[in-house]
Amino acid sequence: MNSQHKTAQLTASRTFEANLMAFFNCAIKTDTPIAIWRKPTEELIQGCCQVSDSELNIEDLENAPQGFMVSPFAPSDEPRPNYILSDISINEKDNAFKIHPTLQHQDQSLETFFEAYLETKEQQSFDFRDYLHKAPEVRYDRQAFIDLVQQCQDAINNGQYQKIVPSRREGYSYSNNFHPVKELFKLCKAYKNAFVSIVYTPQYGLWLGATPELLIETQNEIFRTVSLAGTQGVPDDFELSRAAWRQKEIEEQALVSRYIINCFKKIRLREYLEIGPKTVKAGNLIHLKTSFEVNMKETNFPELASTMLQLLHPTSAVCGMPMIPAANFLAEHEGYDRECFSGYLGPVNHGGTTSLYVNLRCTKLYKDGGIIYAGAGVTEESIPELEWNETEIKFRTLLNIFENL
């Protein structure tokens, strides 16, 4: 049977959630890079995996093949693979696997994947945990984070920095019926304005998240980015018109906006639309957000996305200002490797659109539990205990959903 007929058979008469779960399980079992995502304000859940074995490092977004980009926070000396090709894809609307045309004739990897899929689908006892590594031990240490915030402030007061964004991580255990795909469906329902995703690659492991922060988007000739900072925890029924911000948050967010404008200046881009700052709700939190929009055709910047990606990441929303000294400060003092937390990820060249998000409100999943990550922007006005509280409420964005079975 050829793969096309087989894939039609594979998905017939099963719900999308069941197909997606089997797709995910099969990818984990066969160590195949996979991404599943839902964009903010959209309903459509989509997934893709790469069965061909090229390891790609893509910098040129404009000419990239359809796929999913995932990149860690810290730069590396060697180019690392950062791409999952869309060899096999599925979406909620069609509920059927699609095979990328370039693969139709090179079927061995497809055959192998779909055989494993059929086998996994029937395997009642399948447990994704069996294929993951054990979690590193992470000590709960409130004082260590408070001391780190204090160190950031001392450095800021010495005049070298305007802002530093320290972060921390914490371990948690799963309930028995925890499954990443089930959690993704719950996150999609709870957080309409978030980019919700699962990513697995042999190199970076398994990540699940619901981020409020767009890094860059291109949709036909329109380029977008945002500056997002300032955080307050709010109840479910909070009305945005009641939001009040302290000078600290207003300045902290303005700094991120200035950073973006400076990047535009560096490349002599003068025409952009700036909207905000506005208060936006992201789950249990509110933030200040300014949106920037550029018409790439009118300004004659067809490769703006690739250029801005190089200039923007890591923004002063997740690293600090000035960027390189702040990144060095964090590498020296933060005490752990952020891996994909506060890196970026998202679909590239799907129907003329590329959308990359900052990987926040995310967790790495292991055999015996998860590790959750959060950071907080520190300026000279920060109160260390409040920055600790901010990381605690940021953890709740995901943990409230996981616990609410």
Ligand X SMILES: C=C(O[C@@H]1C=C(C(=O)O)C=C[C@H]1O)C(=O)O
Q: How far is the CB of 203 from ligand X (least distance, A)?
A: 22
In the complex, minimum distance from the CB of residue 330 to ligand X, in angstroms, rounded to a whole number? 11
In the region spanning residues 311 to 340, those forming contacts with ligand X, defined by CB under 6 A, are: 317-318
| Interacting residues with ligand X between 41 and 70 (CB under 6 A) | none
Q: Which is nearer to ligand X, 353 or 389 (CB)?
A: 389
Which class for 213: exposed (0-12), middle (13-18), buried (19 or more C-beta within 10 A)? Answer: buried
375 in contact with ligand X (CB under 6 A) = yes
With CB under 6 A as the rule, give the number of residues binding ligand X: 18
Residue owning tokens 């990149």: 71
Beta carbons of 67 and 83 less than 8 angstroms apart: yes
Asked whether position 229 contacts ligand X by CB under 6 A, the answer is yes
Print the SS3 string covering 274-326.
EEEEEEEEECCEEEEEEEEEEECCCCCCCCHHHHHHHHHCCCCCCCEECHHHH
Beta carbon of residue 342, minimum distance to ligand X (angstroms, whole number): 6
Q: Report in angstroms how near the CB of residue 343 gets to ligand X at its nearest.
A: 12
Q: Of 229-237, 257-265, 324-332, 344-352, which segment contacts ligand X by CB under 6 A?
A: 229-237
Burial of 31 (0-12, 13-18, 19+ CB in 10 A): exposed
Both tokens of residue 328? 């060095």
Least distance (Å) between residue 67 CB and ligand X:
26
Residue 165 touching ligand X (CB under 6 A): yes
Q: Is 228 in the site for ligand X (CB under 6 A)?
A: yes
Q: Which stretch binds ligand X (CB under 6 A): 77-85, 117-125, 348-356, 369-377?
A: 369-377
278 to 297: interface string for ligand X, x by CB under 6 A? ---------x----------
Which tokens hold the place of 347? 């679909």
Cis bond upstream, residue 314 (ω within 30):
yes
Q: Which is nearer to ligand X, 276 or 302 (CB)?
A: 276
The binder of ligand X chosen from 21, 61, 394, 401 (CB under 6 A): 394
- The answer to whether residue 376 forms part of the interface with ligand X (CB under 6 A) is yes
Residue 111: C-alpha distances to residues 52, 57, 200, 393 (Å):
12, 26, 21, 45
Spatial contact of 344 and 71, defined as CB atoms under 8 Å apart: yes
309 binds ligand X (CB under 6 A): no
CB atoms within 10 A of CB 44: 12
Binds ligand X by CB under 6 A, chosen from 277, 314, 377, 384: 377
Tokens of residue 333, six digits: 């003092």
Q: Which parts of this chain interact with ligand X (CB under 6 A)?
A: 165, 167, 213, 228-231, 287, 317-318, 342, 360-361, 374-377, 394
